[in-house]
Amino acid sequence: MMAYKKFRAAAVQAAPVYLNKPNYFDSQATLEKALGLITEASDNGATLIVFPETFLPGYPYWSINLAQGPEWAGTWAEFLRHSIEVPGRETDALCQAAKRSNAYVVMGINERDAKYEGRMYNSILFISPQGEVLGTHRKVCITVQELFFHTRGDGGANLRVHDANFGKLSGLICGEHYHPLLRYNLIVQGSHVHCLLWPGYKGGAEELTTTIPVMTQSLAASGALWAVASCTYIPPDQIPTDFYDNHAFDQTFGGSCIVNPFGQIVAGPETDKETIVYGDIDLKLNAAAKSIINLNGIYSRWDILNLGVREKFYQPVWPMDELGATPSDMGASEVEELRRKIALLEADVRRLKGEKEAR
């Protein structure tokens, strides 16, 4: 007989470490801060610990100013240098912390592509209590000034939920939560707990201080799942005094909260302070909520509405011996398998035609 799991989740609301020019970032200090927050959350009973968007080494709260071209280039280069490779030294440290704490850690990182130099992603790193990387999600929908830094994430495993000891765990980043198909894709894969990673940034709109809880409630209620929203907040005394001029560090407010499958806020939202928001999760509520709205059951209409997701990854270089291939097409072995199936179907057609003529 299935048992409904209960556990405690933690939404971290904290600031990365930013420095004055020409250094700008301190990935080591931010990593050490993250490790301390994992320990603190674990000591308070959390077995799921969620961090904000690109917490390591920090979110890009600035955009290009063409009048400061050389300095912009230097900032970009330092952001790349302090970004995180998967696997790498920083991920090893996070995995060890997750294992020590016996907790799932969901960390927002600015990911540096180890294969393609100069390529960065806005990513979520999922780590198990055994200290293993479950996978990453690379942000599919890049927002505003992120376009100056990040490459869009691809399909396939990038859009899948992860198996956890309590059920299914998923995550999306910031503006991706405005995309109905991304949300739906995770809901129908059976996510039990969804992590929302935000920069806690107003972006020029005061109303965004209320948008984050509303978007979290909307997702939780429509998906009959728990939602854990983690947002950045940078206290005034932690804002660098001589950073690149075109920045908005003073526009962070937080907004972290935890919402149950009925769309009710059970913890937070917390604003204008560094803190950890805790909430006790009971997965029985997921089942109870599905008695009303269930996109995998009574509210599913897969016969008239369904979603296509590209499973293959694009590559800039691929072998020419894959006849007729393009970066997103099938390889030679797949083409050969299709030809074999076509031949079998043609043989069936000839057989059926012969039987019909014999009659």
53 annotated active-site: yes
- Report the alpha-carbon distance of residue 54 to residue 85 in Å, rounded: 13
The three-state secondary structure class of 22 is coil
Q: Distance between CA atoms of 78 and 75, rounded to whole angstroms? A: 5
Amino acid identity at 70: P
Catalytic residue among 95, 174, 195, 231: 174
8-state DSSP, 237? G
- Is 139 known to be catalytic? yes
Say which of 90, 95, 111, 139 is annotated catalytic. 139
* 175: number of Cβ within 10 Å: 18
Which one from 53, 78, 90, 146 is the annotated catalytic residue? 53
The side-by-side arrangement of strands in the sheet containing 226-231 is 162-164, 167-173, 193-198, 226-231, 254-259, 265-271
Give the distance, in angstroms, between the CA of residue 118 and the centroid of all CA atoms in the same chain. Answer: 21
Q: How far is Cα 280 from Cα 9, in angstroms, rounded to an integer?
A: 6
> Which residues are the active-site residues?
53, 139, 174
